[in-house]
Amino acid sequence: MEPLRLFPQPVTPQASSTASRSGKSYLIWTIGCQMNEAESAKVEAMLSQVGYARTEVEEEADVIVLNSCVVRQAAEDKVAGKIGSLMRTKRNNPDVRIALTGCMVTGQEKSLRQRFPHIDLFFEPSEFDRLVEIVPELAGADGDLAELPHYYQPLSSDYRVTAHVPIIYGCNFVCSYCIVPYRRGREVSRPFDEIVAEVTKLGSSGVKEVTLLGQTVNAYGHDLPDGRDLADLLTAVNSVPGIERVRFLTSHPKYFSDKLIHAIADLPALCEHVNLPVQAGDNEVLRKMRRTYTHEHYRDRIEMIRNTIPNVTLATDIIVGFPGESDEQFENTLRLLEDIEFDKVHVAMYSPRPGTLSARWEDEIPHSVKHARHQAVERIQERVSLQKHQARVGQREEILVDGFAKGRWRGRTRGNALVFFDATGDWLGQTVNVEITEASTWYLLAEPVAIMATAF
Ligand code: SF4
C-alpha cells in the first residue's frame, strides 16, 4: 500500500503537445465494451504518432474512425444512426476519409460496402495495418506502429492514470445468445512477453493502473505452447515498476481456478475485486444459454473467492427475459442475488442477435415482463449496494485519483467503488488515503485523511 502523503505531489506526465505536425486531425467515435475502447486507443496512438491531432468536431476532421458494437440491438441502432449522419459530413467535405471497424464489420464487409458507400474503409477489429489505406502517412512511419502500446499518446496532453491492455482476443465458448464468437473469432492469446513489455511501457509513461482485457480473460494462455496462464501473467505484471494496481475483465466461471484466486489474494498490486458474470441463477436457463456451469458451481467459486481474498468485492452480469425463462426460473436468479449480495450488478434485457442460436427460438417474453424483471433486479441491487456503501462510512480507504468531474476529484477504491472528494491542488494520479463521509447507491463521498490531519 502506498504510504500516506500529507500533500498532493505534482504529476509529471510524459512530455507531450497537442500540436499537429501534419496539420491534419482525426476523430474517433467508440461504442461498446472496454475491448473497443482499447482498440480505439490503439488507433489514436497510431494516428498521433504520424502527426495527426485529435478533434471532437466532425467538420474539422480529416479522418473519422467509427468503432462499432453489435452485442445488443440498441448499440447496433446507434451505430447505424451515426453512419447515416456522416453522409452529410461526407457530402460537405468529400475529402474526409471515414473508416468503420469493430464487431459490425467482421464477415460483413461486402454488404456494408453496398449499404454505406460513403464509408471509405471497413476493417475488422485489430486489423490496424489497413488504416494505411486512408492514412498514407502510416506507410512512411518510423518503427513498427503495430508494436505501439495501447494508450501511447505522444502528441496528446492527456495524462492517463489507467489503461486497458487486451491480452486475449475472441472466445471459444458458444453461449447461445452471444454474437461475440462470430465477430471476434476463436481465442488467440497475445504473447506473454509482449504484454509484459506493453505494461512496462505504460508504467514508465505514468500509468498507475492497468486492466487486462479479454472476452474470456481467464482463458488466457490455453492456446500458448508454454503452459503459462492468467495467474502467471498477473504475477509478472504485479512487479512492473510504476504499476500500482492490476485488474482484469471479463472472466468466465468455468475457468475461475483456485490458482487464479490465490494469485489475486497473494499479489499486492492485484485489486480485491472480481467481476464474474453469472447471467442467470437457474440451471435450466443456464443450460439453454450454454454457459457450461450450474449455479452450484458458480456459488462454489464465490465462496472460495470470499474465503481466500479478504475484503473482496464482487460484480456480475445478468440477462433477464431469456427465451422460455419462467417466473419461477427468474425467482431463482433473484434468490442468487439475495444470497450472494454482489457489490455491483449489470443487468440487461435479452434481445436476439441474428446469427446466434437463441435467435432461432421464439423471443416470447413480452417487453413489459422483461422490463419488470429488469426493475426487480435493480431494486434488489440498489438496496444491497446502498447498505454496503453505508457500512463503509467512517472507514479509511485507499483510492487512486483518476479524474476531476463536476468540481470534485474522482477516484476508485481497490474494490472498484467510485469515490469523490473536494480538495485544492493537483491530485491526478495520486494514491490517497481517504475517510468515507457519505454513502449513496452509486458512489461514496470522502475527505482526504491528509487534509483532515493538517486541520487538527
Ligand atoms: S463467454 Fe459466452 S457471453 Fe462471453 S464472449 Fe464468450 S460466447 Fe459471449
Query: How far away, in angstroms, is 292 Cα from ligand 1 center?
Result: 11
Of all protein residues, the one whose alpha carbon is nearest to atom 8 of ligand 1 is: 178
Same domain, 261 and 351: yes
6 is a domain residue = no
| The pLDDT of residue 126 | 79
Please identify, among 350, 372, 390, the residue that sits at the C-terminal boundary of a domain.
390
Same domain, 400 and 386: no
Atom of ligand 1 nearest to the CA of 171: 6
Same domain, 268 and 417: no
47 is a domain residue = yes
pTM of the model: 0.88
Same domain, 125 and 45: yes
Query: How far away, in angstroms, is 181 Cα from ligand 1 center?
Result: 7
Task: Provide the grid cell at 152.
Answer: 501511447
Same domain, 384 and 401: no
Query: How far away, in angstroms, is 121 Cα from ligand 1 center?
Result: 28
419 is a domain residue = yes
18 is a domain residue = no
Cβ–ligand 1 contact at 175 (below 6 Å): yes
Same domain, 385 and 291: yes
Same domain, 386 and 301: yes
19 is a domain residue = no
Cβ–ligand 1 contact at 173 (below 6 Å): yes
Please identify, among 354, 374, 390, the residue that sits at the C-terminal boundary of a domain.
390
| The pLDDT of residue 146 | 58
The Cα-based distances of 190 to 197, 224, 270 in angstroms read: 12, 9, 20
Same domain, 400 and 313: no
Cβ–ligand 1 contact at 171 (below 6 Å): yes
152 is a domain residue = no
Other beta carbons less than 10 A from residue 275's beta carbon: 21
- How far is residue 390's CA from residue 388's CA, in Å, rounded to a whole number? 6
Structural domain containing residue 117? 25-147
Query: How far away, in angstroms, is 226 Cα from ligand 1 center?
Result: 25
20 is a domain residue = no
Same domain, 401 and 386: no
Query: How far away, in angstroms, is 47 Cα from ligand 1 center?
Result: 31
R_g over Cα of the chain: 23
Same domain, 217 and 348: yes
Same domain, 215 and 345: yes
| The pLDDT of residue 233 | 98
Report the chain (456 residues): mean pLDDT per 10 consecutive residues: 33 39 89 91 90 93 95 90 94 95 91 94 90 90 60 53 94 95 93 96 94 96 94 98 97 97 98 98 98 98 98 98 98 98 97 94 95 98 97 96 92 97 92 96 91 37
Among 171, 252, 292, which residue has the most ligand 1 atoms within 8 Å of its CB, making it the best to mutate? 171
Of all protein residues, the one whose alpha carbon is nearest to atom 1 of ligand 1 is: 173
Cβ–ligand 1 contact at 252 (below 6 Å): yes
Bridge partners of residue 314, in order along the sequence: 274
Other beta carbons less than 10 A from residue 422's beta carbon: 12
Atom of ligand 1 nearest to the CA of 174: 7
**CATH number of the domain to which 200 belongs:** 3.80.30.20
Please identify, among 361, 390, 419, the residue that sits at the C-terminal boundary of a domain.
390
Same domain, 347 and 220: yes
382 is a domain residue = yes
**CATH number of the domain to which 68 belongs:** 3.40.50.12160
| The pLDDT of residue 16 | 35
Query: How far away, in angstroms, is 351 Cα from ligand 1 center?
Result: 15
Domain tally for the chain?
A: 3
Using left for φ > 0, alpha for ψ between -120 and 50, and beta otherwise, residue 76 falls in alpha
Query: How far away, in angstroms, is 148 Cα from ligand 1 center?
Result: 28
| The pLDDT of residue 125 | 87
